[in-house]
Copies of this chain bind each other. A is one copy, B any other.
């Protein structure tokens, strides 16, 4: 699956992933009203609005982008109907041949981690049959519990030719509280990064491992160090745009081959029509605004990368 991700990045000349993290406040009134008219102001109504919103954005951007990253929390908050909207979104994006990174940040131990891995990447056995639960291509994983939490995911990834992005250094202001603490003079995130590189060695594609890392765009100096520490690791980079990460900060996350990183933008794309730069599209054409925001993001990043060379 890392090969597919890389070839789609190259084909689109766009190392970008669109974060499908819908909040009801992002969804235009006409989409909400239509969903509520059919299902009422209910969890089902909210889930329908989210699904229609996602579908419109995917329909207008899928030819430009390699991947999407639905954030499961934004669906899970609407209970079962929300989870159904998540699953529909995953399935639809796969139909459109997009690589789907489930941003689930799960992490547990032993048989419990195995259950998460099975549910999101693999097949669960029921009697003589087996079924995919949510069936993403990649998922994000939390490393706090150590190898016992990661190994069951690696096993499923090998079997299914799928992948992970393991949290190393997150983009938020307080990420340093634990992640930056010094251990023998090196921050914890470097120790985690080294482990990610080790786990990755066991799961190699051609040039890159299918075990990736998450490193926030908001910490470019740390990104530089981690890039060197994990040379064969694909880095998923959140925090561009809305969280304050600039394109000029992104160069250190890439390798000399122009690969090795994929930049996420969520709000900046899916709620583009709410920004002054795109307000001329109007709420009626929210998905066209998202398309333009993808084009501009691609340009912004490629410009920054060309300055690197």
Residue in B41, B84, B133 whose CB lies within 8 Å of A127: B41
Given A80-B87, A118-B77, A127-B36 in contact, is the A191-B178 Cβ separation under 8 Å? yes
A284 is an interface residue with CB less than 8 A from chain B: no
A12 is an interface residue with CB less than 8 A from chain B: no
- Cα of A105 to Cα of B280 in the assembled complex, Å: 42
Number of copies: 2
- Cα of A294 to Cα of B23 in the assembled complex, Å: 43
A43 and B78: CB pair below 8 A? no
Q: List chain B residues, Cβ under 8 A from A79.
A: 87, 119, 124, 131-134
Given A79-B132, A126-B43, A133-B78 in contact, is the A111-B23 Cβ separation under 8 Å? yes
Instruction: Looking at the assembled complex, report how far the CB atom of A121 sits from the nearest CB atom of chain B, in whole angstroms.
Output: 10
Q: List chain B residues, Cβ under 8 A from A142.
A: 105, 107, 142, 144
- Cα of A127 to Cα of B145 in the assembled complex, Å: 39
Q: Which residues 50-86 in A have Cβ within 8 Å of B in the complex?
A: 71, 73-74, 76-80, 82-84
Known: A78-B126, A149-B174. 18 other contacts (CB 8 A): A36-B127, A43-B126, A73-B112, A74-B112, A77-B118, A77-B124, A78-B119, A79-B119, A80-B80, A82-B119, A82-B133, A105-B107, A109-B170, A109-B171, A144-B170, A146-B170, A148-B174, A149-B172
